[in-house]
Amino acid sequence: MAKKIWIVLFISFLIYSASVYTNCDKKAETALNKEVKKGWDVWQAKNCQSCHQVYGLGGYMGPDLTNTASEKGPEYMKGFIKYGTGRMPNYHLNDDEIESLLAFLTWVDKSGRSAVPEKAVHWTGTYIIDDK
Ligand code: HEC
C-alpha cells in the first residue's frame, strides 16, 4: 500500500515538472544581442543609474526608465539622451552610442513591468502578463 502512494507521488511529480517546464512564457525570452550589450556598456560607463532606476533600483534624481521605451517611445527618449535638460547632463554621445542605449532600454522594457498594477495580480498571487 505504502509503495503505491510513493509511485503515485512520483508520477504526479513528473507530470507537474513537465507542465512547469513546458509552460514557460516564450514571449518573455529576450535576446541579449550585440547592440543591447553595447548600450549596456554605455549605460554603465556614463553611470546613468546614479540618477535613474531600473525596477526601482538606482538613483532618484531622474525617473525610473524600466518601461519608458513602451510608455513614451524611443524618439521621446532620444531627445533627453542627445541634448540633456537643465537637470539631466548632456553627455555629447554620438548617434551610435545613443542608438545602442535605446536598444538597451528597449530590451529592459521587454523584460517586464516595473510598477505592477493591482489588476495584473491574479488571485493565486501570480502576475498576469499583458500581451500588448
Ligand atoms: C545627474 C543625473 C542624471 C544622469 C547621470 C542621467 N540622467 Fe537622465 N534624467 C535626469 C533627470 C533629472 C531627468 C528628468 C529631466 C527633466 O524633466 O528635466 C532625466 C530624464 C531622462 C529621460 C527621459 C525620461 C522620462 O520619462 O521623461 C531619459 C530617457 C534619460 N534621462 C536617460 C538617461 C541616460 C540614458 C543616461 C545615461 C547616459 C542618463 N539619463 C543619465 C537625470 C540624469
Looking at residue 25, its pLDDT comes to 61
Tell me how crowded residue 37 is: count the other CB atoms within 10 A of its CB. 13
Reported as a single tens digit per residue, the pLDDT across 97-123 is: 999 999 999 999 998 888 877 888 888
- Grid coordinates given for 44: 554603465
Asked whether the predicted pLDDT for residue 93 surpasses 60, the reply is yes
Summarised one tens digit per residue, pLDDT across range 5-57 is 999 999 999 999 998 888 766 554 555 789 999 999 999 999 999 999 999 89
Distance 105 CA to ligand 1 centre (A): 12
What is the whole-number distance in angstroms between the Cα of residue 90 and the centre of ligand 1?
Answer: 9
Counting from 1 in the atom list of ligand 1, the atom nearest the Cα of 77 is 29
- Cα(95) to ligand 1 centroid in Å equals 17
- Indicate whether this model's pTM tops 0.85: no
> 74 CB less than 6 Å from ligand 1?
no
CA dihedral 103, 109, 112, 117 (to 10 degrees): 180
What is the CB neighbour count within 10 angstroms for residue 94?
9
For ligand 1, say whether the CB of 69 is within 6 Å of any of its atoms. Answer: no
Question: Which residues are paired to 57 by β-bridges?
Answer: 54
> Would the CB of 56 count as within 6 Å of ligand 1?
no
Q: At 53, phi and psi to the nearest 5?
A: -110, 155
**Residue 130: its pLDDT value, please?**
66
Identify the band that residue 90 occupies on the pLDDT scale cut at 50, 70 and 90: very high
Q: Say if ligand 1 is within 6 A of residue 85 CB.
A: yes
Question: What single string gives the DSSP state of each residue in 3-72?
Answer: HHHHHHHHHHHHHHHHHHHH---GGG-----HHHHHHHHHHHHTTGGGT-EETTEE-SSS---TTHHHHT
* Domains parsed from the chain with CATH numbers: 34-110 (1.10.760.10)
- Alpha carbon of 132 to ligand 1 centroid (Å): 26
C-alpha to C-alpha distance for 8 and 22, rounded to whole angstroms: 21
